[in-house]
Structure 1
Amino acid sequence: MVKNALQAQLLKAGLVDNKKAKKLSKQAQHEQRTGQSNEAELKAKIEQDKQGKIAKDQALNMEKQRLLDEKALKASIIQMIGQHKIKDTDGEVIYQFIDANKIKKIYINQQIYNALVSGSLVIAKENDGYAYLPKALAERIDEKMQGFIIINNANAQSNEQTTDEEDPYAAYVIPDDLMW
């Protein structure tokens, strides 16, 4: 009644008895039956892992697509700045502004200086330099992506200063564009 040759050899050698051989064969049958149920669990786990991998791949693809879209948007903004910047701005008038916590000094002509101070022109970052753009274009660029427009004095014009009624110097207005 022994099912495999190894069990027969063990019985002949006297290492196991009939009870032990039957017990081992029943254990093997039990493992074989439970192994089939483990296959179902294993298949479910494999399917779950597949779904997780698919979800992870989709998330990675969405991130890559977002980065590509952002890169394309930056390229289009840089192209817009290059096409619409004002040329021939060299002059002797000094304009100072802050860029990345550093004070920058540029030499421009009086007409560009007046337009910057009044807010009709803005300063935008262009690769390693600066470009002077009309206010309307700067607003469109700012709507698309922040970080390109450095100086926009149009916002400063809207902030009205409140004066104290008892201030003796209220009648004397201090201009923002003093040249020292």
Structure 2
Amino acid sequence: MAKNALQEQLLKAGLVDSKKAKKISKQSQHAKRTGDASNLEAKKALAEAQAKKIEKDQKLNQEKQQLLEEKMLIANVIQMIKQHQITETQGDVTYQFVDDAKIKKIYITQKLYDQIVAGHVVIARLEDDYALLPRPLADRINSKLEGFMVVSNDKSEVELAEDDPYAAYVIPDDLMW
């Protein structure tokens, strides 16, 4: 007798004889025990799928790691700015600068104003506010991660156009409006 319902139905319909049904069942049992070629193909396909999954997981982990490192770098920069910012800035002199196409104004002391104009002090973005930093620290922060420096007066960065008709006229940096 056939072992499953499909074989019984095929036998009753006369499509398969009992010898052929036994032979097929023996072949299927033998294939299960020995691992037939179709099983090898399935195993290969499964191994390839696992390899692709591992590769995809590694890429995702790498991206997550990069995002985490970037967040840590930003947090470290913000911490450095908070720790080393110049705290005694309140004064009666205004310094105006451009940030994101908007003119911003901070009130500082005359000494800090002179240092900003000379390039010894830099204005950096600190979350929703601004902080004053010494030039060496600002250069270190800028080398790690750009985008925090708002005002950095450096005489070497100033470039004059060759055909500038007003090149001979020097405009003072501390011009008050």
| Equivalent residues of 1:96, 1:106 under 8 A apart | yes
Show structure 1 runs of 5+ residues with no match.
none
Tell me the SS of whatever aligns to 2:106: strand
Equivalence for 1:174: 171
TM-score, with normalisation over the residues of structure 1?
0.77
Distance 1:53 1:169 in 2: 63
| Equivalent residues of 2:2, 2:22 under 8 A apart | no
Q: How does 1:9-20 map to 2 (within 5 A)?
A: 15-16=13-14, 20=16
Name the Cα RMSD after superposition: 3.3
Q: What code does the residue aligned with 2:17 have?
A: A
Equivalence for 1:4: 2
Cα separation, partners in 2 of 1:119 and 1:30, compared to 1, 3 Å: farther
| Equivalent residues of 1:98, 1:104 under 8 A apart | yes
Q: How does 1:51-130 map to 2 (within 5 A)?
A: 51-130=51-130
TM-score, with normalisation over the residues of structure 2?
0.78
Using the TM superposition, give the Cα deviation of residue 161 of structure 1 relative to its aligned residue in structure 2, in angstroms.
Answer: 3.1
Show structure 2 runs of 5+ residues with no match.
none
| Equivalent residues of 1:119, 1:157 under 8 A apart | no
Q: What code does the residue aligned with 2:158 have?
A: N
Pick which of 134-143 and 65-74 moved more.
65-74
Cα separation, partners in 2 of 1:157 and 1:178, compared to 1, 3 Å: farther
Residue identity over aligned pairs, in percent, reads 45
Distance 1:23 1:102 in 2: 91
Using the TM superposition, give the Cα deviation of residue 115 of structure 1 relative to its aligned residue in structure 2, in angstroms.
Answer: 1.0
Q: Aligned residues, how many? A: 171
Pair member with larger Rg: 1
Q: Does 1:21 align with 2:17?
A: yes
